[in-house]
Structure 1
């Protein structure tokens, strides 16, 4: 089984770009890839292609139809807030057991097809999914290797180190860290990496410079595969 969980120190820092780029690069290397984005807040039924799930499907060469989005993202909520709150606004509740079973079923069937599974989380690693579970609990339940995406904005160092501490304390230390440079980064990317490295054990750190927006932005990303170990 080869499965990875892409999580982040916060929201809007590049998890979807990282996941799309990894999928694109694995496919270019001849590897079968399966992407899941099981939970999504801020989903617009009228524009599935613009959603995170739509972007991930496009990176796999699949048309981002509503049906295709539903296949990889069963739990979709309209409000762009934490899933527990977004679900409550719709009179719904995310079933944590069903969520984990959905992921495990895909991991099992992908293993039989020798596919690498990339699961993109939602929000930051401690964002609530239900009244009692967070993304960190989801990662722990699946028992797969997490990759932590950290931003490059002012405050990202504290957020990144805090996320690492929280994950390590829960027995899910990141396999690697990808530093996704922000457009308003106050310091160069190598300084952010150097500072993180001083406070963390020796784990792979991969730099993702800020990329100009484009329809297929994931194709412009540098080699991120070292993050997979």
Structure 2
């Protein structure tokens, strides 16, 4: 069984939708170690609502923080300190999709970031969305992961921006999975269509 860690080049780039597609394609379990804000409509609930298969299990957050901020700041407001030794992947005999928070270097406390909780055995799926600066952010993310010895794959999210996407693919060594288009909405049927499209590339 494999572990997939889904990260983004920034926040709000489409990690949760990408996670739902991967979960559906692989009939994998899902785990969001750290949720910051939106506890009533958290990412775990969002992914669960988009899944059609009955195999996937949705595991509890290690930390569920109230304020939609960087985890270190949200934890401080809640009066807790994130202890990464308490962030342990759930035991499962299934494939596991893990969704990060923001990008790789989002701080969890004064010394550790999201990167520090990623297992060396995980395959990393990077979600990139076009905006001014996204080329730099994408290549920095991919280069850091390569330096750390991770196997990476790439998903583009949103409307096509050919010049941005072409140069990222030319300048990086990562495998390309595909694009999640700017759909009018995402529901179980749309997720299932993308799952079928991406299944052979995950």
Q: TM bucket by the smaller chain? A: 0.7 to 0.9
Please list, as runs of the form range in 1=range in 2, the aligned pairs for 1:27-176 lying within 5 A after superposition.
Answer: 27=27, 33-44=28-39, 47=40, 50-60=41-51, 71-99=59-87, 102-103=88-89, 106=90, 109-111=91-93, 115-139=94-118, 141-174=119-152, 176=153
Let me know the Cα RMSD of the aligned residues: 2.3
Determine if the alignment matches structure 1 residue 178 to structure 2 residue 166: no
Determine if the alignment matches structure 1 residue 191 to structure 2 residue 151: no
- How many residues of Structure 1 are paired with residues of Structure 2 in the alignment? 197
Aligned counterpart, 1:218: 191
Task: Give per-residue Cα distances to partners, 1:168-199, cap 9 Å, x unaligned.
Answer: 2233352x1111125xxxxx344333111111
Q: TM-score, normalised by structure 1?
A: 0.77
Structure 2: 5+ residue stretches without partners:
none
From the two aligned structures, give the one with the greater strand fraction. 2
Structure 1: 5+ residue stretches without partners:
28-32, 63-67, 183-187
From the two aligned structures, give the one with the greater helix fraction. 1
Q: TM-score, normalised by structure 2?
A: 0.86
